[in-house]
């Protein structure tokens, strides 16, 4: 951490977005994480993504659990709603908040321990229910906050800082999310904002459960030779299948690409996900093919990154439950307390 | 782009915008920090070494440093560098104790002609080295135009006496009231070297109809001002017109207001914006109820019964030709006449060397200016050197000082049998500022305060008294606050590529988006790909290669706040904050090749 607050002075050409805010307006307090932590880069990517989406800060809720990663919502979007849940319990709190106010944009930020160890039960259910959220796992393969024990996503064979080898198999959160029915699944790397920022933008505008597994090196406990989550290892083994551009509904779409090179996917909110192919044989809209590709390449030691799966027809928990369009806090007294006659009608329907 | 060679002293010197812009290269941030620490005497010493006249310059400098100051690029206004200098002068202890020791006489004799800032700087630099120095000036007191031209309400005489006194205390023999009428004759006195610092003493006249008839009330500005300074003149008519838009005009009109002028106007040919006077000089004049009328070209002085009655002007406008060149053309409107009792002509200054014989081997160019080496200040007579306004035409005090330093180096080298074109490199001291993980030995937290204003004396009082200084100077608290606005641009961000792991922490934290890791490219193209566009081409990109991914680190120096956050957030210490104290070489053994 630092003792001084980040100066307010900024670059003279700092641009404003459509709602008149600068990128700096989306920042939070100065980070207290270790210098060089990958999580801080993800925070910076979230700041940029929200700025570029012209999001109104007060229309976003950021929720997290416990861990270094879960501390980060303090370091971005200082003017948004926030909730810091108990370890591993963020998905349920987020589900509840989303049910109460479907008009907010929900951002869940968690760690690999918070998600894949203690919180895995919560995580899987929020995804399979299709809660409309952007769920980011800041995946460093260790419990950073408690001094670097292997977490459940640590790869088998990966070595700890003192040389001990992880003998248990790691959970692949991307494979799990695909299996659970997530409608937007991506993987990225904290050290590659060009890839990460659009992935976050796409996830925030997506209308269903969006899961991003972001590898985020822990400089204190997991950035040594022998680790599979270090800067060097990830850079060497990164296999990006595509590059994404998120084009907001109001911007005209330019088509200056050769056919076959790009694929445009229009989401429910009108935003267009423009996928530029890198791996020729990769189809991001085919869940089974995606799963197969990822497993095949991972077996070769590659880390597959990019927008790995997208279902443009995604629906969410509200659609499935048929809940009211109106957030609960905006419902009038008449709707909330419909009176004895309405109760009688319901009771009659149950007889 | 090629990786930056930060071992070149100029690289980081350029980052210290103010010091780079200062003709004498005063280490500005160093003295500003000393002022914030209330170490006024030390702050004064830093200045005195570089610019010789801190108390004078702290009131009158043309301040080329301020438009260059980085602070002016991250908010509205630069640091009040100049007025902070005055704070050091106002609050210092007895400075006489700090004067340098004088070496035993070395047997070499030097003559300085003129006792203005240029000559006095030569004497200040060379006297302590053991040279015997004779300073000649036609005026009765030393100081040159500092004393004869700059009005007392801007610069009290005590300040001139004090700072000229520090130079004379070093032992030069002052021949005041001794005008030199022949260089040839002076050269015959077998001086080892001669320095000519005689300024640009001639005020330009305006030969339009009526000049002769009205002459009793038409005055050449600089002559008029020196008559006021030396007490030969203490009155002017009630209605005064000042012709011209430079600093002489501003001093003329404000002086006229104090000598009885009630309706004083400045009338200029050009537009208000193009006037040569500094913005603050114009503001000060306007604040003293002096209107500035523009786009009026004087056509004739009007007179009646042998007495001046006014001036007639042609109205003009600016037009731009295809090449973008600006010319003034008549608007076709009728001429305008302004009545007045006195006219002060302040339309420029010229050099004049009637006392230099043209047959002594000293070459003059087609503009009748001496041929002088730009860096060496040497004329075509090898042992005659020029400096100040005499060298390349009228400039200002700080340039005169800079020339004086350069000439002193040349004279010292010349008299030691060395090549004067070999210029000494600056002395550079590098000190890491790191004290702990989050602790730096400088105040790294930039403040948001806008520039503080120097308080002025009540107008009703200052307009009644020629000697009442208008500016009152910062008090200590305000000086501290203003000093805190300085960004410490001499505390440099120094990058070591081989330990960088490209984690982006520095990129993410930087409040002004200075740092980018990117694929290399040529400069013009790379400048467009940075985290923030690097559009200010006067500012360098700091490039480092040898990174694990093969990209380069590109830092745009333009708006770096020198806050040290990049270094604090770097996990590997690839960034360090290092203070570069750059001292431009001055005459003495250190600047000689052989010592
Ligand atoms: C009205 C006015 C206001 C100014 N205000 C400012 C200001 O606010 N800030 C600023 O930076 N600059 C200002 N300047 C400019 C500044 O005064 C000069 O640029 C500076 O003084 C030049 O220094 P110098 O040493 O070259 O010569 P000068 O200061 O001109 O000194 C030359 C000296 O040489 C003497 N001399 C000349 N010929 C002979 C001779 N033949 N024999 C013996 N002695 C001789 C003269 O008497 C004079 O004392 C102002 C100028 C004017 C006219
Ligand atoms: C119920 C509970 N059990 C255990 C802990 C101790 N604990 C705090 S953070 C943490 C692991 C966090 O790991 P991860 O989510 O990967 O976050 P990181 O710090 O690596 O970003 C644990 C086990 C706790 N705070 N609460
Ligand atoms: S901020 Fe300070 S160091 Fe930087 S240019 Fe301005 S005065 Fe000089
Ligand atoms: S010192 Fe570092 S963090 Fe601060 S403005 Fe300069 S480059 Fe950015
Ligand atoms: S913070 Fe340090 S290690 Fe990280 S990218 Fe910047 S210089 Fe390199
Ligand atoms: Mg973790």
For ligand 1, atom 15, name the residue with the nearest CA.
B396
Same domain, B267 and B326: yes
Q: Which of residues 12-51 of B touch A (CB under 8 A)?
A: none
**Domain A23-243+278-321 CATH class label:** alpha beta
User: From the CB of B570, is ligand 5 less than 6 Å away?
Assistant: yes
Encode pLDDT of B326-375 as tens digits: 889 999 999 999 999 999 999 999 999 999 999 999 999 999 999 999 99
Same domain, B527 and B565: yes
Alpha helices in A26-78 (DSSP H): 38-52, 68-71
Query: What's the confidence (pLDDT) of residue B369?
Result: 96
Q: How confident is the model at residue A253 (pLDDT cuts 50, 70, 90)?
A: low
User: From the CB of B516, is ligand 4 less than 6 Å away?
Assistant: no
Determine contact, residues B350/B200, Cβ cutoff 8 Å.
Answer: yes
For chain A, percent of residues with pLDDT exceeding 90: 86
Nearest residue of B to residue A43, measured between CA atoms:
B508
Same domain, B236 and B126: no
Residue B83 domain-assigned (yes or no): no
Same domain, B258 and B377: no
Domain that holds residue B459: 1-19+426-595
Same domain, B593 and B468: yes
Encode pLDDT of A184-207 as tens digits: 999 999 999 999 999 999 999 999
Question: First and final CA of chain A: distance in angstroms?
Answer: 63
Give the residue from B346, B365, B384 where a domain finishes: B346
Same domain, B467 and B592: yes
Give the residue from B361, B382, B414 where a domain finishes: B414
Same domain, B166 and B181: yes
For ligand 4, atom 8, name the residue with the nearest CA.
B510
CATH number at residue B314: 3.50.50.60
For ligand 5, atom 2, name the residue with the nearest CA.
B570
Same domain, B207 and B195: no
Same domain, B501 and B447: yes
DSSP B7-22: TSHHHHHHHSHHHHHS
Chain A interface test: which of B70, B440, B506, B511 (most A C-beta within 10 Å): B511
Query: What's the confidence (pLDDT) of residue A261?
Result: 76
Residues in contact with A38: Cβ distance below 8 Å, sequence separation at least 6, in sequence order: A138, A140, A190, A191, A214, A215, A216, A217, A218, A219, B503
Same domain, B480 and B533: yes
For ligand 2, atom 8, name the residue with the nearest CA.
A67
pLDDT for residue A249 is more than 80: no
Query: What's the confidence (pLDDT) of residue B432?
Result: 92
Tell me how far the alpha carbon of residue B441 lies from the centroid of ligand 4, in angstroms.
16
Contacts of A223 in chain B (CB under 8 A): 501
Query: Which among B73, B446, B568 is the nearest to A7, CB-wise?
Result: B446
Encode pLDDT of A34-49 as tens digits: 999 999 999 999 999 9
Residue B76 domain-assigned (yes or no): no
- Cα separation, A153 vs A68, whole angstroms: 16
A10 and B533 within 8 Å at the Cβ level: the answer is no
Residues of chain B with confidence (pLDDT) below 50: none
Query: What's the confidence (pLDDT) of residue B586?
Result: 93
Residue B489 domain-assigned (yes or no): yes
Q: How confident is the model at residue A246 (pLDDT cuts 50, 70, 90)?
A: very high
Same domain, B501 and B355: no
Give which of B122, B124, B101 is closest to B112, Cα–Cα. Answer: B122
- How high does pLDDT run on average in chain B? 96
Same domain, B518 and B553: yes
- How high does pLDDT run on average in chain A? 94
DSSP B336-394: EEEE-SEEEE-S-EE---TTS-TTSS--B-TTS-B---TTT-B-SSTTEEE-THHHHS-
Query: What's the confidence (pLDDT) of residue A255?
Result: 56
Query: What's the confidence (pLDDT) of residue B595?
Result: 53
Token reading at A258: 């050769």
- Cα separation, A288 vs B117, whole angstroms: 85
Contacts of A219 in chain B (CB under 8 A): 501, 503, 571
| Distances, alpha carbon B301 to alpha carbons B32, B212, B241, B281, B343, in Å | 50, 9, 11, 27, 9
Q: How confident is the model at residue A260 (pLDDT cuts 50, 70, 90)?
A: low
Q: Any CB–CB contact under 8 A between B511 and chain A?
A: yes
Q: Domain total for chain B?
A: 3
Q: How confident is the model at residue A256 (pLDDT cuts 50, 70, 90)?
A: low
pLDDT for residue A259 is more than 60: no
């Amino acid at each position: 951490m630092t003792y001084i607050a980040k100066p307010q002075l900024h670059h003279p050409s700092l641009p404003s977005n459509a709602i008149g805010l600068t990128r700096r307006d989306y920042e939070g307090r100065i980070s207290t994480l270790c210098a060089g932590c990958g999580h801080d880069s993800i925070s910076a990517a979230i700041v940029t993504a929200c700025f570029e989406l012209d999001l109104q800060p007060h229309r976003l809720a950021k929720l997290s659990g416990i861990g270094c990663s879960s501390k980060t919502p303090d370091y971005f979007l200082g003017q948004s709603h926030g909730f810091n849940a108990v370890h591993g319990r963020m998905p349920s709190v987020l589900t509840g908040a989303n049910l109460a106010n479907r008009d907010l944009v929900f951002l869940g930020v968690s760690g690999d321990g918070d998600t894949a160890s203690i919180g895995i039960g919560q995580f899987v259910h929020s995804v399979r229910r299709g809660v409309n959220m952007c769920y980011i796992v800041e995946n460093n393969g260790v419990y950073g906050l408690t001094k670097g024990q292997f977490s459940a996503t640590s790869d088998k064979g990966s070595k700890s800082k003192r040389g001990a080898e992880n003998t248990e198999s790691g959970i692949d959160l991307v494979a799990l999310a695909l299996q659970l029915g997530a409608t937007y699944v991506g993987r990225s790397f904290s050290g590659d904002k060009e890839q990460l920022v659009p992935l976050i933008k796409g996830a925030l505008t997506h209308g269903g459960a969006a899961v991003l597994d972001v590898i985020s090196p822990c400089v204190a406990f997991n950035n040594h030779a022998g680790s599979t989550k270090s800067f060097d290892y990830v850079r060497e083994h990164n296999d990006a299948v595509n590059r994404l551009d998120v084009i907001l509904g109001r911007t005209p779409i330019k088509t200056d690409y050769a056919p076959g090179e790009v694929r445009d996917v229009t989401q429910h909110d009108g935003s267009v996900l423009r996928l530029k192919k890198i791996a020729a044989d990769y189809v991001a809209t085919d869940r089974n093919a995606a799963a197969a590709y990822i497993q095949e390449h991972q077996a070769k030691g590659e880390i597959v990154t990019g927008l790995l799966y997208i279902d443009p027809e995604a629906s969410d928990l509200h659609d499935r439950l048929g809940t009211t369009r109106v957030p609960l806090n905006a419902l009038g007294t008449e709707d909330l307390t419909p009176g004895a006659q309405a109760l009688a009608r319901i009771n009659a329907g149950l007889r | 782009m090629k990786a930056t060679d930060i071992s070149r002293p100029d690289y980081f010197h350029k980052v210290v915008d103010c010091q780079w812009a200062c003709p004498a290269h005063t280490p500005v941030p160093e003295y500003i920090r000393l002022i914030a620490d209330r170490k006024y005497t030390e702050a004064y010493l830093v200045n005195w070494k570089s610019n010789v006249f801190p108390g004078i310059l702290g009131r009158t400098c043309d301040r080329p440093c301020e438009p260059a100051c980085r602070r002016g690029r991250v908010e509205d206004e630069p640091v009040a560098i100049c007025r902070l200098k005055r704070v050091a002068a106002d609050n210092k202890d007895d400075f006489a104790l700090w004067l340098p020791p004088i070496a035993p006489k070395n047997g070499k004799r030097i003559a300085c002609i003129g006792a203005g800032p240029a000559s006095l700087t030569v004497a200040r630099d060379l006297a302590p080295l053991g040279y015997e120095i004779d300073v000649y000036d036609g005026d009765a007191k030393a100081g040159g135009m500092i004393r004869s031209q700059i009005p007392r309400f801007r610069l009290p005489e005590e300040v001139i006496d004090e700072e000229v006194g520090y130079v004379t205390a070093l032992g030069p023999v002052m021949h005041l009231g001794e005008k030199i009428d022949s260089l040839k004759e002076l050269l015959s006195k077998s001086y080892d070297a001669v320095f000519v610092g005689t300024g640009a003493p001639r005020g330009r006249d305006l030969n339009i109809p009526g000049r002769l008839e009205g002459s009793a009330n038409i005055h050449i500005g600089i002559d008029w001002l020196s008559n006021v300074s030396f007490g030969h003149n203490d009155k002017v008519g009630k209605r005064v017109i000042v012709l011209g838009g430079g600093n002489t005009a501003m001093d003329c009109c404000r002086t006229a207001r104090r000598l009885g002028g009630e309706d004083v106007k400045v009338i200029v040919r050009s537009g208000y914006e193009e006037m040569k006077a500094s913005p603050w000089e114009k503001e000060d004049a306007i604040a003293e109820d002096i209107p500035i009328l523009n786009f009026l070209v004087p056509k004739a002085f009007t007179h009646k019964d042998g007495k001046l009655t006014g001036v007639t002007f042609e109205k003009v406008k600016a037009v731009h030709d295809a090449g973008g060149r600006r010319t003034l053309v008549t608007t076709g409107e009728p001429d305008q006449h302004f009545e007045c009792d006195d006219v002060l002509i302040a339309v420029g200054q010229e050099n004049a060397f009637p006392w230099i014989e043209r047959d002594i081997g000293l070459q003059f160019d087609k503009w009748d200016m001496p041929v002088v080496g730009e860096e060496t200040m040497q004329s075509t007579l090898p042992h005659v050197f020029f400096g100040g306004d005499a060298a390349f035409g009228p400039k200002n005090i700080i340039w005169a000082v800079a020339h004086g330093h350069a000439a002193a180096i040349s004279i010292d080298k010349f008299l030691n049998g060395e090549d004067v074109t070999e210029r000494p490199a600056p002395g550079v001291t590098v000190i890491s500022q790191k004290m702990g993980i989050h602790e730096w030995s400088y105040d790294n937290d930039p403040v948001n305060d806008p520039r503080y204003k120097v308080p002025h004396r009540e107008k009703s009082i200052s307009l009644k008294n020629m000697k009442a200084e208008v500016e009152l100077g910062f008090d200590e608290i305000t000086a501290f606050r203003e000093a805190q606005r300085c960004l410490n641009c001499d505390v440099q961000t120094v990058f070591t590529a081989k330990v960088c792991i490209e984690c982006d922490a520095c990129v993410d934290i930087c409040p002004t988006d200075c740092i980018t890791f990117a694929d290399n490219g040529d400069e013009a193209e790379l400048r467009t790909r940075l985290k923030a566009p690097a559009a200010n081409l006067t500012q360098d990109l700091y490039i480092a290669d040898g990174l694990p991914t093969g990209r380069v680190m590109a830092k745009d120096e333009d708006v770096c706040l020198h806050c040290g956050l990049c270094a604090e957030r770097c996990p590997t210490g690839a960034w360090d904050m290092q203070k570069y104290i750059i001292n431009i070489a001055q005459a003495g053994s250190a600047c000689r090749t052989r010592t």
